């Protein structure tokens, strides 16, 4: 086989091989360089794959030459490619922007290990996105989760330890539930390959274990994806992780789990369990709506900026699930598109936090007072990303919100209620973001806020960091005006997911 | 040249202004030159549209069947002409005002002003609702720094009201209305006769109309009018921008445009569920006039007068007869000329004498005869007395109301005319005929030359529109698809 034929495996292989190398590289800057290079390489491959799946094709790769369903198969479709793009893109931007803050917050001798763990996260998440094997998902989930716990707890913030312990417990329960569910399906079908499961379940006369499997898998994945009310681990994990880590995982980690949830439910269960579409809608839609309202509502009263954005993520995940719960093309398209656009917006917001982190040690809202005068470009980028999160036209967030509302109108009279919730939540987003932005632009620096470092005349973040932040903000505008690329991928992803739905 | 140039010119101007911020003379020369270039370009577009052309420029498809694009028709041409033409005058005035009052952050001011003009042109020339909405939001956001210009706590609180109401209504009501329209009609293009006939009817149509009317917060139909008095904290040139050049005009323009090109006046007229709009507009006209009557601050009085005048346009559009639609369009122009004159005068008074309250104006006409003459002309136009522009538009609105036997609208206009006279005439009387209070805060004469030139120009425009309105009427008659008057 030529090298080209192996490209589908590379998004996992490259970071996985680079990780041990980074762990042993000294001095630590070399480890950073290796991790960055691996991340950039993965991103380049992800771009190639995304372009290749643009026509809706699926690229399959048999690991070790063992054909499916016996061996592990990678199957890269538009959905996988889109999420892969988010993972590698977020990793690349965050690791470039985060170098100085990581250097400051993590002890020097631990940094190579930190970068190794970072690459393991990339490898694990990428693996989940592109594998076609249910057990393989679990393996990659464990790889990424364990590595995620490490990178979250790596900073100097001691509270990260309790946050990550909570995450570890919840994450392990989620993964275990998922494994139990996969076990049931394996028991009934004798296969672990998604496509094969889908084909074989049709012949199973006794469906009770499959129902049980569906329940375990949905709940387990909902836990890992921080779906309301299983979100409790998320806000603190975001708040206490090193800024660069937050920027990375906030953009992609929960979305990868959503991808598995969509795959399992739409590919495997919808065609094989009678009325599963209704079950899915009845289970997911209320949680999505509650999540939207709860996340936005709590964010309005939250005073820590990072935790506030965490709660906002819970609401945004609600949008993604809401679209999926319609079980039609319009809804799924909106849902997948929002996976991409929310990653753009939230990634840019947290990247701006990385830049602000050069001068701020705490992120209470009052610590940001008056920061716009000292870091106008960073706060400008933050503001653009905030507009995207709200869904103001001209930004990426507007496009997915548009599709979501159009899809909601297609739900008949229920649609009006759904539109009301979406609109109300958008307005709540205006409120919670404005609470940050107005004092940040206009208020005088708070003398009590210790983090503000008033004595030193601080200015903008370093040029390299600023460039990344501005690029992220510019992407929000670019994909708000030229949305064709993510739209095509989302359209194919929706078609592919619906292919097995009766 | 593509009509999109109308948006690029002020944006390029904004960039140049930002780059030359260090040198005020260069910066302000560029502002004026950009404004003149834009007006010349809009004039060239206007020649084509008057001849029956509909210049079009599509920038790219954003959603299936909906592009970001421009298509100039008479209504948009009218709004574009006012915005670009008054930008020249407003820039002259700004130079006098900002220098005279030694305002800070002048570069930011001119940059945001230019972006706001670009947004106004985008709204005016938009080919569909989505493009309009895009520029509508840009207009809101770009005017926020202008309203919050002073930067103290009180200003920021008021600017928060401004931004909050405009964003909340646009995202909460206007956007869902647009998406509903898209879902129902499958298109968002502005089409002669509307796109909703056969797609939405019955009570739902009235509800959709409500989403539009209250969603377009810039039109300030009560109860979404509060942002306008709140925005009075802004410097006077900004008030002129808000009240005459761009912002509120964008609001009523959007409503007229939606009624004519999205709903279609015949479709709406046949639907009883749309009748509420007449009453809402009438209520706003009367209530705003009564509130204006009680104001003691000149700019606040003018702000409430604007709210009332805007609802004239909405009322005219809601009469749903061709003549009244023409009246709505003409009233946008007439009010723009009259109100910008009034605000320029208020700013001139402030710049020369630091006076802001009505009672302080006693006898001021003797010190500032040019300013007060212009003020008087503007006030007469608000009341609708010939020979001013306000008379022409009222004439057409009333003609439309008689056409449809809408006696409620006629009654409203009569009552409001009386009320307008009741709050404007005492000010004129006070300024011209009362003796000055002693001692004066400050010994002063006329305002700076730039300001006087600007307000004299707009006062002359107010008079001129009374005598030379035929081209405008003919142009707007194309909107309702008929050549006769």
Among partner residues B137, B151, B156, which is closest to A393 by beta-carbon distance? B137
Query: pLDDT value at position A458?
Result: 66
Sign, Cα dihedral of B320, B323, B324, B325? positive
Are A423 and B141 in contact (CB < 8 Å)? no
Residue A479, min C-alpha distance to chain B (Å): 10
Query: pLDDT value at position B20?
Result: 86
Query: pLDDT value at position B483?
Result: 40
Q: To 10 degrees, what angle do helices A208-224 and A159-189 make?
A: 160
Taking the CB of residue A447, how many other CB atoms lie within 10 A of it?
Answer: 9
Q: What is the pLDDT of residues B209-243, one digit of tens each?
A: 999 999 998 888 888 888 888 888 888 888 888 77
Taking the CB of residue B88, how many other CB atoms lie within 10 A of it?
Answer: 19
Residue B462, min C-alpha distance to chain A (Å): 36
Residue of B62, B63, B138, B169 best to disrupt the A interface, most CBs of A under 10 A = B62
What distance in Å separates the CA atoms of residue A2 and residue B119, rounded to the nearest whole number? Answer: 54
* Distance from the Cα of residue B335 to its chain's centroid: 7
Predicted confidence band of residue A457 (pLDDT cuts 50, 70, 90) = low
Are A438 and B160 in contact (CB < 8 Å)? yes
Residues of A in Cβ contact (< 8 Å) with B18: none
Residues of B with CB under 8 A from a CB of A: 60, 62-63, 68, 130, 133-134, 137-138, 141, 148, 151, 156, 160, 163-164, 167-168, 171-172, 175-176, 179-180, 182-183
Among partner residues B62, B176, B182, which is closest to A419 by beta-carbon distance? B176
Where does residue B198 fall: left (phi above 0), alpha (psi -120 to 50 degrees), or beta otherwise? left
Give the closest residue to A131 by CA, choosing from A185, A82, A75: A75
Residue B172, min C-alpha distance to chain A (Å): 5
Nearest Cα residue in chain B from A415? B180
Q: List helix spans (H) across B65-105.
A: 74-100
Query: pLDDT value at position A452?
Result: 47
CA distances from B307 to B234, B252, B292, B435 (A): 17, 11, 9, 32
Residue B168: half-sphere exposure toward Cβ, Cα within 13 Å: 15
Among partner residues B130, B171, B183, which is closest to A426 by beta-carbon distance? B171
Query: pLDDT value at position A441?
Result: 85
What distance in Å separates the CA atoms of residue B134 and residue B69, rounded to the nearest whole number? Answer: 11
What distance in Å separates the CA atoms of residue A170 and residue A163, rounded to the nearest whole number? Answer: 11
Query: pLDDT value at position A293?
Result: 94
Contact B273, B203 (CB under 8 A): yes
Query: pLDDT value at position B482?
Result: 53
Tell me the two tokens of residue A494.
């929706």
Residues of B in Cβ contact (< 8 Å) with A419: 176, 179
Nearest Cα residue in chain B from A442? B151
Nearest Cα residue in chain B from A395? B134
Query: pLDDT value at position A455?
Result: 45
Residue of A391, A393, A485 best to disrupt the B interface, most CBs of B under 10 A = A393
In the predicted model, is pLDDT for residue A108 greater than 90? Answer: no
Are A430 and B171 in contact (CB < 8 Å)? yes
What distance in Å separates the CA atoms of residue B187 and residue B178, rounded to the nearest whole number? Answer: 10
Taking the CB of residue A345, how many other CB atoms lie within 10 A of it?
Answer: 32
Percent of chain A with pLDDT over 70: 97
Q: Which residues of chain B have pLDDT under 70?
A: 1, 438-442, 481-485
Query: pLDDT value at position A216?
Result: 94
Greater confidence, A467 or B194? Answer: A467
Are B137 and A390 in contact (CB < 8 Å)? no
* Distance from the Cα of residue B343 to its chain's centroid: 13
What distance in Å separates the CA atoms of residue A144 and residue A375, rounded to the nearest whole number? Answer: 34
Query: pLDDT value at position A181?
Result: 94
Nearest Cα residue in chain A from B129? A393
What b/e string do you get for A58-68 counting C-beta neighbours within 10 Å, with b at 16 or more? Answer: bbebbbeeeeb
Are B133 and A481 in contact (CB < 8 Å)? no
């Amino acid at each position: 086989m030529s090298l080209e034929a192996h490209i589908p495996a590379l998004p996992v292989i490259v970071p996985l091989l680079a990780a041990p190398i980074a762990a042993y590289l000294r001095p630590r800057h070399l480890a950073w360089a290796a991790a960055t290079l691996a991340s950039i390489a993965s991103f380049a491959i992800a771009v190639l794959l995304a372009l290749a799946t643009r026509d809706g094709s699926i690229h399959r790769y048999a690991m070790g030459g063992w054909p499916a369903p016996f061996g592990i198969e990678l199957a890269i479709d538009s959905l996988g490619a889109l999420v892969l793009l988010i993972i590698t893109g977020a990793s690349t931007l965050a690791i470039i922007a985060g170098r100085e803050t990581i250097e400051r917050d993590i002890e020097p001798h631990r940094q190579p290990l930190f970068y190794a763990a970072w690459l393991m996260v990339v490898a694990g998440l990428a693996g989940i996105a592109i594998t076609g094997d249910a057990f393989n998902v679990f393996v990659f989930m464990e790889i990424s989760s364990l590595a995620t716990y490490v990178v979250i707890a790596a900073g100097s913030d001691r509270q990260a330890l309790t946050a990550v312990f909570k995450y570890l417990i919840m994450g392990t329960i989620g993964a275990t539930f998922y494994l139990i569910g996969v076990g049931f399906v394996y028991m009934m079908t004798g296969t672990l390959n998604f496509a094969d499961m889908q084909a074989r379940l049709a012949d199973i006369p006794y469906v009770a274990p499959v129902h049980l499997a569906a329940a375990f898998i949905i709940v387990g994945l909902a836990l890992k994806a921080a779906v309301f009310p299983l979100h409790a681990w998320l806000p603190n994990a975001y708040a206490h992780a090193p800024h660069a880590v937050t920027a990375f995982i906030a953009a992609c980690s929960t979305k990868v789990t959503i991808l598995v949830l969509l795959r399992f439910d739409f590919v495997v269960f919808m065609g094989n369990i009678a009325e599963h579409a209704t079950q899915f809608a009845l289970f997911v839609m209320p949680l999505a709506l509650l999540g939207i309202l709860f996340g936005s509502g709590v964010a309005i009263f939250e005073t820590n900026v990072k935790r506030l954005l965490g709660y906002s993520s819970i609401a945004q995940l609600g949008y993604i699930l809401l679209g999926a719960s319609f079980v039609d093309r319009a809804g799924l398209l909106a849902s997948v598109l929002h996976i991409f656009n929310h990653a753009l917006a939230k990634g840019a917001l947290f990247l701006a936090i990385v830049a602000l982190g050069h001068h701020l040690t705490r992120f209470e809202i009052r610590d940001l007072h008056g920061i716009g005068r000292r870091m106008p470009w960073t706060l400008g980028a933050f503001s653009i990303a905030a507009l995207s999160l709200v869904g103001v036209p001209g930004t990426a967030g507007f496009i997915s919100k548009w599709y979501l509302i159009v899809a909601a109108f297609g739900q008949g009279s229920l649609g009006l209620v759904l539109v009301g919730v979406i609109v109300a939540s958008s307005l709540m987003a205006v409120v919670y973001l404005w609470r940050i932005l107005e004092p940040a632009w206009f208020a005088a620096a708070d003398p009590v806020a210790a983090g503000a470092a008033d004595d030193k005349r601080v200015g903008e973040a370093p040029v390299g960091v600023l460039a990344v932040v501005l690029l992220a903000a510019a992407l929000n505008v670019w994909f708000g005006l030229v949305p064709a690329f993510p739209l095509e991928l989302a359209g194919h992803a929706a078609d592919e997911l619906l292919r097995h739905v009766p | 040249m593509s009509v999109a140039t109308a948006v690029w010119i002020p944006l390029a101007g904004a960039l140049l202004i930002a780059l030359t911020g260090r040198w005020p003379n260069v910066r302000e020369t560029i502002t004026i030159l950009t404004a003149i270039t834009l007006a010349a370009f809009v004039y060239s577009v206007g020649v084509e549209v008057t001849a029956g052309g509909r210049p079009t420029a599509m920038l790219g498809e954003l959603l299936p069947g909906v592009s970001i694009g421009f298509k100039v028709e008479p209504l948009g041409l009218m709004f574009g002409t006012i915005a670009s033409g008054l930008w020249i005058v407003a820039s002259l005035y700004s130079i006098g005002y900002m220098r005279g009052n030694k305002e800070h952050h002048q570069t930011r001011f001119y940059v945001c002003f230019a972006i706001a003009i670009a947004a106004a042109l985008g709204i005016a020339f938009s080919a569909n609702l989505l493009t309009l909405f895009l520029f509508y939001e840009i207009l809101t956001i770009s005017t926020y720094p202008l309203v919050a210009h002073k930067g103290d706590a009180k200003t920021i609180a008021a600017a928060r009201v401004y931004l909050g109401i405009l964003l909340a209504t646009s995202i909460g009501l206007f956007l869902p209305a647009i998406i509903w329209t898209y879902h129902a009609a499958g298109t968002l293009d502005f089409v002669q006769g509307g796109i909703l006939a056969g797609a939405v009817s019955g009570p739902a149509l009235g509800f959709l109309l409500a989403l539009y009317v209250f969603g377009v917060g810039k039109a300030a139909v009560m109860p979404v009018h509060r942002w306008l008095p709140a925005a009075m904290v802004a410097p006077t040139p900004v008030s002129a921008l808000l009240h005459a050049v761009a912002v509120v005009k964008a609001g009523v323009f959007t409503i007229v445009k939606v009624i004519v090109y999205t709903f279609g006046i015949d479709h709406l007229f046949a639907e009883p569920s749309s009748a509420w709009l007449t009453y809402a507009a009438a209520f706003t006209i009367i209530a705003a006039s009564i509130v204006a009557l009680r104001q003691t601050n000149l700019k606040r009085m003018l702000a409430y007068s604007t709210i009332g005048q805007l609802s004239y346009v909405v009322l005219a559009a809601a009469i749903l007869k061709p003549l009244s639609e023409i009246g709505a369009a003409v009233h946008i122009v007439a009010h723009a000329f009259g109100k910008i004159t009034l605000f320029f005068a208020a700013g001139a008074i402030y710049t020369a004498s630091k006076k802001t309250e009505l009672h302080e104006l006693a006898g001021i006409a003797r010190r500032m005869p040019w300013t007060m003459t212009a003020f008087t002309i503007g006030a007469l136009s608000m009341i609708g007395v010939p020979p001013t522009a306000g008379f022409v538009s009222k004439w057409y609105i009333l003609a439309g109301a008689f056409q449809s036997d809408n006696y409620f609208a006629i009654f409203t206009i009569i009552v409001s005319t009386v009320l307008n006279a009741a709050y404007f005439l005492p000010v004129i009387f006070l300024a011209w005929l009362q003796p000055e209070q002693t001692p004066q805060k400050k010994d002063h004469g006329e305002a700076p030359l730039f300001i006087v030139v600007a307000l004299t120009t707009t006062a002359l425009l107010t008079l001129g529109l009374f005598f030379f309105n035929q081209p405008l009427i003919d142009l707007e008659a194309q909107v309702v698809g008929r050549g006769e008057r």
